[in-house]
Amino acid sequence: MPMNEKRCVITGLGLVCAIGNDTDECFESAINGRTGIADVKSFDTSNCYSHKGAEVSKTNEELAKGRYDRTTALGIKAAGEALSDAGIDPESGEASEIGVLLGSCIAGAACVEKYYNAKVNGGKGDIDDLKSMPASVIAGNVADYYKAGGITANIVNACAAGTLSVAMAIDLIRGGKGEIFLAGGCDSFSSLAYAGFHALRALAPSDCSPFNHSDGITLGEGAGILVVESYEHAVKRGAKIYCDVLGSGVSSDAYHITAPRPDGEGQMSVITRAVKNSGLKFTDIDYVNAHGTGTAKNDESEFLSLSTVFKDNKDLSVSSTKSMTGHCLGAAGAIEAVLTVKALKEGKLPPTTGYSEEDLGVLAEKSGDINFIANKPVEKEIKYAMSNSFAFGGNNASIVFAKDPNLLNLTCPKQDLYVTGVGIVSGEYDEEKKSYIAKLDSDTFKAYGVKSAFLRKLDRLSQLQLLSGLKALEDAGVTVTPENESIIGICIGTNDGPMTEIANFQKNIIRDGIDKGSAFAFPNTVYNAAGGYLSIATGIKGYNVTIANGFQSGLQSVCAASGAIMFGYESIMLASGTDECTDIDEEIYSDLGFSGEGGMTLGEGSVTCVIEKDSSASGRGAKRYAKIAGFSSARDTTGDRNNNWRLSEEALTKAISNVLKEGSIEASDVKCIYGFGNGVSELDNFEMDVYKKIFGDNIEVKLVKKDFGEARAASSSLQFAMLAKDIFEGKCENGIAVSYGTSSLYSAVLLTKA
């Protein structure tokens, strides 16, 4: 069986949301039309025009033992059920090879609120709340809780994040990077998200009513997690199998940061990709769990998309379970995926609730041949089901589940991958700030054709990202046109994301009230805004994913981008690492004790590399900096799982060994290492000791952070870019870029002469 046709199956389900505390309870509620929407209890909404939400009744302590932020606690609860359902006992060591891929939109927003409540009111803020704020800790915390030792990643593509996590799991399995993953999403109810959607006037005044009144969303919270596993692995351990997960699709609208394209082009593209990759026809799909948010623009574009793509399907059923669960943001797609798998297994399709008799008449007139299931469930044996998610930033994702295996349409001839463009935006040392700050000016953007009105919408993180992306495209000689816009993709890595925008937005609503959130600022609080703006500015409509997974996120984005090309999704990928250095960042790292006397010197920047398959590069006559000969990520399995920053010789050695094996090269032949040392003696000494054991005393180790500061994800991308440049300029024939991040995850990429 070819690598990319490896059969993937679902062997475990876990779910918690407002309609139930486990999968069976949630599915029973959904089938019976029981809503979890009620008046908000988490905070005061008396000054708001809406007062509805879909909150989980359990406390953090009831969800998970120990102190965790609510998003992570929800993820731990659903992951525990999924593992148990899959017949895996973490205490016996059975989870040691399992990877964890989790989507989130707002991450530790509840901890952001607690931390800045204390700060705004003159206090210091709890250090545990500070540590739990970023998205980069979630998957690692869940993995540590269950002693899971496989690859971890936090996918932060807003409301498409949970669906993207499942899509990435099947790609990693088919790419030989793992056999079994916990994949899904988790997000908590928060004043930040509520205030943001309130400012956008996007909240429904009463219960949300998708494909019906469409007067707004109702926010919810929860977690949905699936055990995604290779068929061979599942059979070997005697696991029960719910269904196959066939294929996925990912696309970008390249239109607007919050609104979907009215013509539904991006949605139709992602549905088409998922169906095609699954080896199916549009007429094969029996049921779609729609994104169905309940806002007028989303419902209109999705209704148009479904009616157009499935125009020849005379037996399609569609529903939106958000009418009961609320919109759970980064968890939404995963929650809906779990409910879709249950519907496929049980032959019972959940309805969209809230239709009056008059509403039903209007629905019947406009729905045509599609059965938009209303109020009551439908009992129907189905073979193929789809779950769709569309998000801020114009990010779209779809996955297809099947009762039986199917011959996939993922044949992609193995090709060499090359670095064909580099765009670097780095910092210069600022004596006053004692950190490395990048210079951004409007004239530079103007030279690339970026209009001032567009630039003003962007926060600093997005500006950094946009500039490095434009520089990389220019360096590669790539012009985005209608002919190639859909075969170019984006993968961005970040450690902190838009933490400055998040903190400032939260502080403002603490001071002024939840009803006083800024509609201008809120879109920039989502982690994937930078990728969305890059897509809009360039017209790139292909694959688009943002990973927040610690300092090594930039290098992990190279791994993910290489995988996207390897599977034939795109011909060209932009792989980036981006983090900023603002007063907020300085304050956060000082409070953590990481910067200052004896600590690291902060920096900022964005580095984008163009990665391209051989046939595309040859067709364009592109220059080739270097060849990607191997890429790998590995995680600690033996250290102190209560320490997010633990070092692991085992994991670092494994990541390096994997790329040496993949590239068919001996350690003695490696000429150069671009390492992750940042001036902190313990980290630097550890790293050098491991390299000497593997490569000997004469290995050349270069540390970019000595000259550009600790720019987290941007630094790890810079390591990769500088190595590619060195090889291109003949300074070395090969080398490895290595980086380290949260929960002891290491990424390594081997580059050789083109």
Q: pLDDT (tens digit, 9 = 90+) per residue, 415-430?
A: 899 999 999 999 999 9
213 is catalytic: no
SS3 506: helix
Q: Say which range, 180-184, 573-577, 581-585, 635-639, has the weakest mean pLDDT.
A: 635-639
CATH of 417-752, one of 2.160.10.10, 3.30.70.270, 3.30.420.40, 3.40.47.10: 3.40.47.10
Same fold, 7-402 and 417-752: yes
The pairing of strands 544-548 and 572-579 is unpaired
pLDDT at 206: 92
Nearest one of 417, 745, 393 to 556, comparing CA atoms: 745
pLDDT at residue 743, as a whole number: 80
Choosing from 198, 233, 291, 559, the catalytic residue is 291
> Which is higher by pLDDT, 677 or 244?
244
Q: Mean pLDDT throughout 301-305?
A: 94
Q: Which of 53-57, 189-193, 539-543, 643-647 has the lowest mean pLDDT?
A: 643-647
**Cβ contacts of 275 within 8 Å, gap of 6 or more:** 247, 249, 281, 282, 284, 285, 386, 400
What is the predicted pLDDT for the residue at 1?
Answer: 40
**Which runs of E-coded beta strand occur in 427-505?**
428-430, 435-437, 488-494
pLDDT digits over 484-503, tens only?
999 999 999 999 999 999 99
Residue 129: what residue type? D
Phi-psi region of 669 (alpha: psi -120 to 50; beta: other; left: phi over 0): alpha
pLDDT at residue 477 greater than cutoff 80: yes
Average pLDDT over residues 739-744: 87
The enclosing H or E element of 288 equals strand 287-289
On the CB side of 187, CA atoms within 13 Å amount to 36
Q: Is the pLDDT of residue 620 over 80?
A: yes
How far apart are the C-alpha atoms of 515 and 206, rounded to whole Å? 17
Tell me, yes or no, if 291 is annotated catalytic.
yes
Rounded to an integer, what distance in angstroms lies between the CA atom of residue 255 and that of residue 276? 24
**Mean pLDDT confidence for 9-25:** 98
Whether the pLDDT of residue 3 is over 70: the answer is no
H or E element that contains 223: strand 222-230
- Mean pLDDT throughout 536-557? 96
- For residue range 208-238, what is the model confidence (pLDDT) as tens digits? 999 999 999 999 999 999 999 999 999 999 9
Catalytic residue, chosen from 198, 213, 233, 327, is 327
The active-site residue out of 48, 105, 159, 491 is 159
CA atoms within 13 Å, Cβ hemisphere of 7: 17
Helices then strands (H, E): number in the chain?
Answer: 26, 27
Name the percent of the chain lying above pLDDT 70: 99
Domain ranges of the chain: 7-402, 417-752
- Residue 439 CB contacts under 8 Å (≥ 6 apart), including other chains: 428
Burial level of 451, CB count in 10 A (0-12/13-18/19+)?
exposed
Provide the pLDDT for residue 368: 86
- Predicted local distance difference test score (pLDDT) of residue 639: 78
159 in catalytic set: yes
Tell me: the pLDDT tens digits for 335-393?
Answer: 999 999 999 999 999 999 999 999 999 998 888 889 999 999 999 999 999 999 999 99
Q: What is the pLDDT of residues 647-662, one digit of tens each?
A: 999 999 999 999 999 9
pLDDT at position 599 over 90 = no
* Closest residue by Cα to residue 419 from 719, 213, 682, 52: 719
Is residue 414's pLDDT more than 90? no
Strand extents, DSSP E, 444-543:
488-494
CATH superfamily to which 7-402 belongs: Thiolase/Chalcone synthase (3.40.47.10)
Confidence label for 267 from pLDDT (cuts 50, 70 and 90): very high
In the prediction, which pLDDT does 78 show? 98
Provide the pLDDT for residue 367.
87
Average pLDDT over residues 680-696: 89
Print the SS3 string covering 603-629.
CCEEEEEEEEEHHHHHHHCCCCCEEEE
Mean pLDDT within 96-118:
93
What helix, strand, coil percent values describe the chain, rounded to 5?
A: 40, 20, 35
